A and B are shown apart, each in its own frame.
Chain A
Amino acid sequence: MTEDTTNPIREAIKGAISENPVLLFMKGTPEAPGCGFSARVAAILESLDQPFAAVDVLPDPRIRQELSALSNWPTIPQLFIEGELVGGCDIVSEMYQSGELQQALGVDGSTGEAAGEPEAEAAQSAPLSIENRL
């Protein structure tokens, strides 16, 4: 209860995780990634035509601190699907190779013919507001 009031960044992160079916915390943006590992995960999601929301952790070091404390995962990027941490670059790459990622996302992955979930696109801009609240 006290945490809710004393830790707005953590609450904003929690909110973003629960509101966005596919959410990537990364360094930089999908268009201009700030690190090779973040770039790779963003590129994998884009190659699957998977709509996803992205949060740039670079503007404020507290975003990364709070995220890692919350997820018990020390590194960036971090991919969340349906509110669950799926992993960082290594696990996501491995799951992409094996087809598990496509399964977890519910996409075909063979072409761009994903069983599209257009409502996910609406979430695109939401988590970026974390940045604006700081």
Chain B
Amino acid sequence: MSTTPQELKERIEAGIPGARAEVTGDGRHFNAVVSSPAFRGISKIAQHRLVYDVFGTDVGERIHALSIQTMPSEEP
């Protein structure tokens, strides 16, 4: 069961309020650039945790590596 960048994008956008995500990857290693108003006023650690939380234990298993860049955005 392989993972696609599109699947990750959809899960991030569904899982984090107001999120927009651009995801690239080869099925094992992914890079996600995510913006969301939910990131406003919280630390980088907390922002990345929100993204990791979308995937739970999939990170490190099905998703071998997930590189994340987050940026707070205005309310949509």
Contacts and interface: CB of A to CB of B under 8 A. Distances in A.
- Per DSSP, chain A at the interface is mixed
Contact of A74 (B44, B45, B59, B69): B59
A94 B45 contact: no
Contacts of B38: none
A117 B69 CA distance: 32
Q: How large is the interface on B (under 10, 10 to 19, 20 to 34, 35 or more residues)?
A: 10 to 19
Contact of A75 (B44, B45, B65, B69): B65
B31 to A, nearest CB: 9
A94 B69 contact: yes
A90 B52 CA distance: 13
Given A75-B52, A88-B48, A90-B69, 9 more contacts: A73-B45, A73-B52, A74-B52, A74-B57, A74-B60, A75-B60, A85-B45, A90-B67, A91-B45
11 contacts: A74-B52, A74-B59, A74-B60, A75-B59, A75-B66, A85-B45, A90-B48, A90-B68, A91-B45, A94-B44, A95-B44
